[in-house]
Every structure is written in structure tokens, then in C-alpha cells.
Amino acid sequence: MADTYLVVNCGSSSVKLALYDDQASTLIATALAENLGFDKARLRIAFPRESTEDLAVDAGHQQAIETCISRFRESGWLEGDPAGIGHRVVHGGERFRASVLIEPTVVRAIEECAALAPLHNPANLTGIHQLSRIFPRTPQVAVFDTAFHQSLPEHAFLYALPYRLYQDEGVRRYGFHGTSHRYILQQLAADLDKPESETSLISAHLGNGCSICAIRDGQSVDTSMGLTPLEGLVMGTRSGDIDPGLFDFLAAKGIEARETHRMLNRESGLLGISGHTNDMRELTRLDEQGDQGASRAIEVFCFRLARYIGAMLASVNCPDALVFTGGIGENSAIVRARTLSHLQGLGFDLDAQANNTHGRDSAGEIQLSGSRMIKVIRTNEELVIARDTHHLTVNETSSVSPATRAHGR
């Protein structure tokens, strides 16, 4: 078999692997290990044929990755070493404006950024160290969620806080989901047959985490997530925007900041408002049965999103399209319709029939004639990571000596 490219997304208790062909364009296999470090750790091969297996009770990332690589080899999908390994890394701070080959200085910089993403960056580093042990000769690439948003102008990334907090502590808006927003830009530009540098859009990534991005002439110029992925839109369990006065208000009632922070991240959003679930499919079913909590949650979600679409027009006055993506954005006609019902007069006129028929597997335009373009596009963050890895390993490894590449710490 020809060269392959491996994409790795390490979370605190999970790891997702995707294997691509020698051009980093065709998916060969995907696998997901969950519950690592807990009872019932499981590995699921999701593509090209489904299978699941239990991992040892104490299985961690190392065992999960090794088992997965063995299954890829046994099935003949992976022969020898991959030509390149691309890692999703959540926070690159102000240091990384683009994907990079991983060298020891890059590993140190990712460690330094961990203060900004304490749950995510350490897990991403675990993946980098594990894979460099298994494949010591394979170049590895870091693809940052924050990098695409490094083009934000100062007026969009600064909080109205004492300026020294930005200078001394790096407190600013960084934005996340950059890999998804970048993929949407690439797809829209290709669909419109325009260069990315001349393509402008509003990209709404609505999954368990949600963010929206204004992209002007191929560059991110505003986005809803901030210092952390908590700011902005209503999400599955995250509150999005909140009055910071809440912390003091609850402290006076004996609820400490740490507890409030946990509540904002894990017990809020769709789950918190509905009192039932963070799953939009389930909420839609409950709403149809007249459940008030579900209906309230969907309404708050859609109104907040509509406000943000309006706000993004301040940064990109004439978007080529408004694009919905992510599990909810691709699949929920109801969310798209309710959101746009708040924006009448802004030129986003939905075609109800097209909205109901377009979804994840039939992406396309859903506007009436004469309207601004509204599209559903299925996102593919793994493909962006595979492409960046291919690009950097093919074009740049020749200029980097193996000795300076990172193989662990």
C-alpha cells in the first residue's frame, strides 16, 4: 500500500483516529476509543466496516492507540509507518497562525498554552508523545483550533478590560473551531469557483459546541468564542454569553466561582434550560410533544444565534453566503428556520421546502430566489488536518533535519 496520513484527535478520555490515502484526500478508516481511564473503555472502528471491542478496564490512551494501529494493520489499511501524522491541538495562543511541523520548541509552546486550555492541550500532548513513540521516524504536524482566528483585528479580539490583562496575561478573544470554519471557507470558495481570498461568509458551526465566524476575503475577522470555548452561542451544556456579575451574585449565596464555572460548562446551555438533555434531536421530539422546557431551550438557542448572525454582519457586510454546519447546523431544519425567522429584513429569505430537504447528506442552497445565499455544508475537520499534514510533510520535511523534529519531550 502507498503512503498514508494519520489524523489524531486526543481528548481527556477519548481518542479519534482517521487514516487517509497518499494524497490525504480519501478516507481509508476511522476509529474512536472512549471512556479511557474509566470502566468500560471501548474501541469502535467506524469505517469502512463497523466493529467494537472492549479495552482493558484500566486502558489509557497508549493502549487504545496501540490497539487501534494493530487493527488498522491487521485489516491491511496501514502498512509500514504513516507518511505523516496530524494532531488536532486546541490552543495555540498567539504563537501559531497556521499549522506547523512539530519540533521540540513547538511541544514547549503547546505546553505553555495549556494554561489557556487546561482540559484540552495536555490531552493533545499525550497524543503527540504516544504517536512519536510508536512512529519515531514519522513527521508530526500540529493543527490548531485557534490559528485561523489569529487574523482577528484588535477591535474584535480585545475585551474591554484593563489593557495590562492582555499584555501581561494574554487575556483576549482567541476563538475556536478554526479548522471547521476554514474547511467551510474552502468548500464555499470551491463551490463558487472563487479564490478563497475573495470569498466572504458567515459560518455557523452548531454541534455540541457552537461558534459562529465572520470571514472576510478569506480571513476570520470576528468569532463568537473567546478566551475559552465558553463564550458566545448557547451550546449543548455550555451557557455561552453570560453577565460576569453572575459570579458575585452566586458567591453571595454561597456558590463559589469554581462551582459556577462548572455549572456554566456542564449544566447549562440546551441541557440547563430544557432540564432534559443536550441532544437537539431529542429536544425537537419533546418540543413536538408540547414539552415547554424543550421548546424554551430551542427558542433561546435560535434567538441567540440570530443575534450573532446580525452581529457578524458588522464585520462582513456582503457575505457570499450564510453557511450552517455541525451536527445541528447540518441536520436541523427547525433550528435553521426558527433562527432565520428572527432576521427578516436582513435579506436571508429561507425556502421552506429546500430547508426541509437539505441535510447532512444532501448539502446545498436553501434560500429563495433574490435572497442572500444560505447553504448547508457538511464540515470535515479531519480532512483539513490530513491536507495540512500532507502539505507540510511533503513540502517542508526536506528542510527540517530529523534531529530537530520532536520525538517526545
Could you tell me the CA-to-CA distances from 291 to 238, 275, 299, 301, 335 in Å, in that order? Answer: 21, 11, 12, 16, 16
Judged by CB under 6 A, does residue 326 bind ligand AMP? Answer: yes
User: If you count them, how many residues does the chain have?
Assistant: 409
Is residue 404 classed as helix, strand or coil in its secondary structure? helix
Nearest CB to ligand AMP, comparing residues 131 and 328: 328
Judged by CB under 6 A, does residue 10 bind ligand AMP? Answer: no
Judged by CB under 6 A, does residue 269 bind ligand AMP? Answer: no
* Contact positions with ligand AMP (CB under 6 A) in 349-388: none
d(CA 123, CA 118): 9
Nearest approach in angstroms of CB 164 to ligand AMP is 37
Could you tell me the CA-to-CA distances from 239 to 6, 35, 273, 300 in Å, in that order? Answer: 34, 25, 9, 11
* Contact positions with ligand AMP (CB under 6 A) in 222-251: 236
What is the pattern of x (binds ligand AMP, CB under 6 A) and - over residues 91-110? Answer: --------------------
Judged by CB under 6 A, does residue 328 bind ligand AMP? Answer: yes
What is the pattern of x (binds ligand AMP, CB under 6 A) and - over residues 159-198? Answer: ----------------------------------------
**88 annotated among ligand-binding-site residues:** yes
User: Is 222 an annotated catalytic residue?
Assistant: no
Give φ, ψ of 312 to 5 degrees: -65, -25
**How far is Cα of residue 356 from the mean position of the Cα atoms in its chain?**
25
Nine-digit cell string for 226: 473567546
Return the range that interacts with ligand AMP (CB under 6 A); candidates 168-176, 322-330, 350-358, 367-375. 322-330
DSSP secondary structure, 249-286, as one string: HHHTTT--HHHHHHHHHHS-HHHHHHSS-S-HHHHHHH
Judged by CB under 6 A, does residue 15 bind ligand AMP? Answer: no
Return the range that interacts with ligand AMP (CB under 6 A); candidates 53-61, 122-130, 181-189, 324-332. 324-332
Place of cell 435560535: 302
Nine-digit cell string for 298: 430551542
Long-range contacts of 215-218 (CB under 8 A, 24+ apart): 215/181, 215/185, 215/316, 216/315, 216/316, 218/185, 218/189
Return the range that interacts with ligand AMP (CB under 6 A); candidates 74-82, 132-140, 237-245, 274-282. 274-282
Nearest approach in angstroms of CB 333 to ligand AMP is 8
Judged by CB under 6 A, does residue 327 bind ligand AMP? Answer: yes
Nearest approach in angstroms of CB 349 to ligand AMP is 23
Nearest approach in angstroms of CB 232 to ligand AMP is 15
Which residues are within 8 A (CB) of 392 and not within 5 positions of it... i.e. 6 or more apart? 84, 99, 100, 101, 139, 141
Give φ, ψ of 234 to 5 degrees: -70, 135
**Catalytic (active-site) positions:** 145
Bind-site residues for ATP: 16, 205-209, 279-281, 327-331
- Binding stretches for ligand AMP (CB under 6 A): 207-208, 236, 279-281, 284, 326-328, 331-332
